[in-house]
A and B are shown apart, each in its own frame.
Chain A
């Protein structure tokens, strides 16, 4: 590894590093606008200039200059300072002096670096240029006069998002960054443009003129609008969630976040359940907590335990699901289901329902088969990781399912479970691709498991995995891609026992407790069933409910979530739930006391101890050890009973998949903007 001396500090950096990285290794901060670790090097902002000994006597752009062994770099010589001041002066020539009305203010790279390298006044007295703002859709606001042409957004959309729609048109003084033709960016990752823009050219449209960064309280949390478990930061002021930003986690979301997770937050303020309701004479009327509990207690009297059931929704935290499970057990019921979509998931072994390879290890795989999934819509961040691997080269991807643009090249191998047969028999050419790969992987989407032959598809996929060398002692290439943040946690807690949802709906139970369950047709629940809905939004579940218990959304409670990879993560309470609403586990604890069967925990800490007792996996917070597969025995199911009914997409409209995003005006605007692509499939 080359040794480099930066300002007298000797550092060793990996071969192929650039001078900027060497300076960072030596603890020297190098100002930059265009350089970004995850994007290709452009070298066009010229802010990162340094001086290098025994090289031509001129400043070098450190981001675009490779290190050599024995190189001596200076970052604080008069020449470097003068050069950077000169670059800054040029950048500011055409940059408007509108910081007081700019949403980037307070978190602007240009503002910060101008403090270090800018002059106290401008020597430029000529007219500044002005640029027309392109309309990039409902999420990204453009004020292109502020653009300094770093081209980060162009490189992001081309390289990471895989939608090459942004570019720099014209030249010189007329150069403008945009899409040239008016169109909304067709990416699920477009919100990240706001984060990578170093100035206020691309800002958040819904967040425009809302708050200054220093007014916000920042709370670490976990995203629940898909099953990736992206790490987020919730920015709040008072009782309001104002914005959601990604948090760095190299193993999960890197530093990106999907648009739904970032922008659906206005849904947290609309259609909220803020008080208990009870149905009287067919109409829901507002009531108090004791009366709501009394109504449930009265209904439960005399009902056999087996005639009671519970369904956990897609956004639930593990704590509330466990509390509900314990309440059900105290009532003598083990009718629990978390599979609202009716997916055939085998909970007998953890690696039958997890994304075992792990998201980060996608980069180590060398072949991929996707079955019944559209990762671009079901988990945009996992799709971005697959694209990253595809761009690295030699990564064949096969797809069985509805044809879709996944932003990378895919070999379309079929549309239904029956198309797996050719791969299983080894007659299809892609079977050889998988066989020859050293670390092949398969992603089974819920679209493949929701049909009547779901169990067969799961068994067939496992069989294919074991036959093509996906399951070895150090590599586990079998993956189930979930769309619900609560699903893996629910399965870990054993929330799939007794009567299934379909049975419960058809009169299998007299009392049905829905914990945030909105993703099935609640109007088909037998009219004789007494439905309790505990949740935060007035959505499908609440519409059918006889008693409504107002719960809290994910930003309003301390909760544990298990992502599709099986990673246990914890989100913190950022704001308190509105009105009378309470944290969900507390509601269940209070109810248990009301019916004289109190749950054995009074604090969330005690509840978490109980979580660990039920499944020790809940003790391993954040970390996810790598594992192989020692037992090749597959999930139950007849691997040959594969139907030729085409797999249907799980996510018909990426922007609306849950009660929060369905209540969001921003998501409605996105649905509208992308109507040609989504409207046909909309429910």
Chain B
């Protein structure tokens, strides 16, 4: 792997679904009854965001693509804008190549999410949430509960959860990300899924037969 390069973050003037997207759209639309294809707007926004990531390195949903979705699903464009801006998972502005999402909700915060966020800021030079680093590689956002509280604190990188984080391991992860690597996701302290730290704590013996 080579070091990451800055993504193309210019506003496109046109948008065409590529073959991979078209295949995914066919699957998404087929899930809904005829005439109710507008229900597929959420999967389509996600498909677009992934296509943008593939083509430009920046996972976001430009205005022209929302218009393309509206046309494909035969719905007024404003209805797509409403949905895309409602869900924070859709980026309506270009982001960096790597999207760092720090969970700041209570369990993660109690377990040290401030430290994780600080490590992200220090490493990338980003001053506040919602910003992109000067080299264009990292965008840092704060997200609400990721549902991984048992392994708090969590740092979500694009689609992957990195769990049981602290400042040090966050810095190591960011180093690796900059080198173009993707360390294996999940717990960073080696526990299996959300099993107790240091091995099993209960049911240590099997009952006598």
Contact = CB atoms under 8 A, between A and B. Distances in A.
Interface residues of A, number: 12
B120 interface: no
A165 to B, nearest CB: 6
Nearest to B81: A180
Interface string A129-149: 000000000000000000000
Most buried by A among B76, B78, B82: B78
Contact of B85 (A158, A165, A170): A170
B79 A164 contact: yes
B194 to A, nearest CB: 30
Interface in B63-118: 63, 76-79, 81-82, 85-86
Contacts of A166: 78
A498 to B, nearest CB: 53
A171 B81 CA distance: 12
Interface residues of B, number: 9
A113 interface: no
B81 A169 contact: yes
A181 B63 contact: yes
Nearest to A171: B86
Contact of B79 (A167, A170, A171, A181): A167
A68 interface: no
A219 interface: no
Majority DSSP secondary structure for residues of A touching B = loop
Contact of B86 (A158, A170, A179): A170
B77 to A, nearest CB: 8
A169 to B, nearest CB: 4
Contacts of B76: 158, 164-165
A609 interface: no
Contacts of B78: 164-167, 179-180
A158 B85 CA distance: 19
Contacts of A181: 63, 77, 81
Nearest to A164: B76
A181 B85 CA distance: 13
Interface string B35-74: 0000000000000000000000000000100000000000
A341 B179 CA distance: 77
A168 B82 contact: yes
A642 B16 CA distance: 46
Interface string A150-171: 0000000010000011111111
Interface string A205-231: 000000000000000000000000000
Nearest to A174: B85
Nearest to A165: B78
A166 B77 CA distance: 10
Contacts of A170: 85-86
B123 to A, nearest CB: 28
Interface in A365-380: none
A171 B78 CA distance: 15
Contacts of A169: 81-82, 85-86
Interface in A163-191: 164-171, 179-181
B85 A171 contact: yes
Contacts of A167: 78-79, 81-82
A164 B85 CA distance: 17
Contacts of A164: 76, 78-79
Given A171-B85, A180-B85, 14 more contacts: A164-B76, A165-B78, A167-B78, A167-B79, A167-B81, A167-B82, A168-B82, A169-B81, A169-B82, A169-B85, A169-B86, A179-B78, A180-B78, A181-B81
13 contacts: A158-B76, A164-B78, A164-B79, A166-B78, A167-B78, A167-B81, A167-B82, A170-B86, A171-B85, A180-B81, A180-B82, A181-B63, A181-B81
The 8 closest A-B pairs by CB, nearest first: A164-B76, A167-B78, A180-B81, A169-B85, A167-B82, A170-B85, A171-B86, A169-B82
